[in-house]
Each structure stands twice: as C-alpha cells, then as structure tokens.
C-alpha cells in the first residue's frame, strides 16, 4: 500500500469517464493519452499483421507427468527409440529472455487431443505417464466438460486444453516467443522447434525479425507500461502482464522493405550480442532500433523525449531477474 500511495502522489491525474477507453488508456496524464492514441493510429494491430497466428503456450495440466529432465528423456528413448517422436525440448516463461533464451535440459511429452489410443505404439512413454494415472484423472478437464458435463473434455493420457495437431505443429516452426510477465518484454526468435509452456506465447510470421525489433523497441515498451496491467508499479519495480488479448492490439507500424530489412538486421545483431552476454552491444543496438522505430511511428522530438524520460527511471532500476515463476 505504501508503494501505491507513493505512485499516486507522484503520478496521479484526473480523467473524464469518456477518456478511459476499453482498448487501453495511460496513467501518464493528458499527454500520455495523446501519445497512446497516436501510436495506435500509426500501426496495424499485431494480430492482424500476423494474420491471427499468435498462440498461447502449452498447458500440460500436470507437469509431473509430462515434463521430464534429460535423464528420463534418455531412458525413455533407450527403452523405445520411437519415444523421441513425442518428446520436445521445453522452455518455461522464466527461460525466455530479451532477444535470447536459456535451456535447462527439460523436455515435454506431447500427447495431443485424441491421440491417447496411439500411445500403445509408444510403450515406454505409456508406462511413464500411466504412473500418474490417479493425478491425471483428477484434473478438472478430465472430470467435467466446459458445459458442466461429467464425461470430461479429453482423455486422462492427453495434455490439457485439447491441443490439436496443427497447434502442436506450430511449435516446430521458426517463431517469435514472448513471456507473460516481466519488467520488460522478453522476446526472442526460436529456431530450434522448442515447445513453450503456458506462461509464454508464440507468433508466426515471415517478417519475424522485423516484428521482434518493433516489439522490443522503446515506443512499445512505453505503451506496455502505460496501458497494460501490472503487478506493482510498472515504472518502478513492478512487472508488466503481457496478456495475449492485449498483445493482439499492439500496433506494428508501416515500413518499407528497406526499413524492414534494416530492422531485421538490427534484431539479429541484438540477438547475437545477447547470446554472448554482451550487454553493452545489446544496448547500443537497441538504441539504433529505437531511433528507427521512432521514425516509423512519426514521433516528434517532444514525444520521443516523453518516452525516453519515462523509461530512463525504469531501466535504471533493479535487474531483470524476475520472469514469471508461477508455472504449474
């Protein structure tokens, strides 16, 4: 409560009821509202830009049964080589970093919707999952339907949320991955066919490097903090919630082919520097990205100063070691 009082004392503004729009509004006063409106007017909503190909991460319903370490993965493959067909490397929300990711030798067993009968062809995996039969049957989705029926939504041997074959196949593709909760958006391009858990999202687009550069840019960082819900003060040490329904509406500005190519190269440079742990090079490259994206949104010097002044107090805060850990 003390932090809330401080935030209100330093940044509270008065608004008319008609200024509080359902699609988002800013706590940064009248100038903030104008800037939010301008950013949105200068771009196409992300979900439209990528033709709807934004997907939430995989929900197992019981990680104990489906998420395994390397030792178990290797044992299952030794017992039956076909086991490898159903096992994918597993990335958690906390593993998703800015421009890159970490891998902690975790894997997920993929049993999609209506595939349970096929598990007899994968005896090692079937034996492993069957050890958790009681807990798996106790999952809510296995006991009742969305309409309240008692037959359950899916078989107890399958993952939650009825993942289709096409949905699972999307994780095999090159894709943007972003996390659900952190101080800044953590997003990178995955080229390894990793499966992403329920605290992440994926975006499929042939312009992934360009889109990633825009998503990780300062204008959108400012927009996220100004309009998205957060745990705590997003301008201090609070964590922003990058919910799928809100990310859908993020504006992607119009750009020429040359501008897209330049931003794509910069995104690749930032990713290479991040993978090496070269923070200085990442920051320099992000500065180049920001300057380009300011131009794409047609921002004037006063608007750029408004963004950079607000973000300066944010980026000088605590280190970004707080990715969402509320994973099942």
- 25 Cβ partners below 8 Å, 6+ apart? 15, 19, 33, 36, 227
111: nearest Cα among 68, 54, 55: 68
Residue among 17, 49, 10, 5 nearest 220 (CA): 49
Termini Cα distance of the chain? 28
Residue 26, phi then psi, degrees to nearest 5 = -110, 145
| Mean pLDDT, residues 307-325 | 68
Evaluate if residue 120 carries a pLDDT over 80. Answer: yes
Percent of the chain with pLDDT over 70: 84
| 289 vs 318, more confident | 289
State the average pLDDT over residues 319-325: 52
Segment 17-43 shows an average pLDDT of 73
Mean of the pLDDT values across residues 41-64?
Answer: 97
Residue 175 contacts residue 152 (beta carbons within 8 Å): no
Mean pLDDT score, 212-218: 98
CA nearest to 122, candidates 84, 82, 88, 89? 82
Show the tokens assigned to 156.
């107890």
Angle at 72 between CA 58 and CA 112, to 5 degrees: 30
pLDDT at 3: 55
């Amino acid at each position: 409560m003390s932090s809330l009082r401080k935030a209100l004392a330093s940044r509270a503004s008065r608004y008319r009821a008609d200024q509080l729009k359902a699609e988002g509004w800013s706590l940064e006063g009248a100038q903030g509202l104008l800037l939010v409106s301008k950013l949105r007017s200068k771009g196409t909503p992300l979900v439209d830009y990528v033709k709807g190909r934004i997907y939430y991460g995989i929900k197992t319903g019981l990680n104990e049964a489906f998420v395994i370490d390397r030792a178990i993965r290797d044992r299952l493959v030794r017992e039956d080589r076909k086991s490898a067909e159903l096992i994918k490397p597993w990335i958690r929300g906390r593993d998703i970093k800015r421009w890159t990711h970490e891998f902690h030798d975790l894997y997920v067993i993929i049993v999609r919707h209506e595939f349970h009968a096929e598990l007899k062809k994968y005896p090692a995996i079937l034996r492993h999952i069957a050890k958790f039969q009681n807990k798996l049957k106790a999952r809510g989705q296995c006991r009742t339907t969305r309409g309240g029926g008692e037959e359950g939504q899916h078989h107890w041997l399958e993952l939650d949320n009825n993942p289709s074959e096409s949905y699972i196949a999307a994780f095999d593709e090159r894709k943007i991955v972003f996390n659900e909760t952190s101080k800044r958006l953590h997003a990178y391009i995955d080229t390894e066919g990793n499966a992403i858990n329920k605290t992440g999202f994926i975006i499929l687009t042939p312009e992934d490097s360009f889109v990633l550069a825009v998503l990780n840019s300062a204008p959108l960082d400012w927009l996220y903090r100004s309009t998205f819900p957060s745990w705590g003060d997003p301008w201090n040490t609070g964590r922003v919630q990058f919910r799928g329904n809100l990310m859908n509406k993020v504006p992607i500005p119009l750009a020429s082919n040359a501008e897209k190519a330049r931003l794509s190269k910069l995104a690749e440079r930032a990713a290479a520097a991040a993978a090496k742990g070269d923070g200085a090079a990442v920051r320099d490259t992000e500065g180049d990205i920001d300057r380009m994206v300011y131009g794409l949104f047609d921002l004037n010097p006063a608007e750029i100063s408004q963004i950079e002044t607000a973000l300066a107090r944010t980026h000088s805060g605590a280190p970004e070691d707080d990715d969402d850990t509320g994973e099942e």
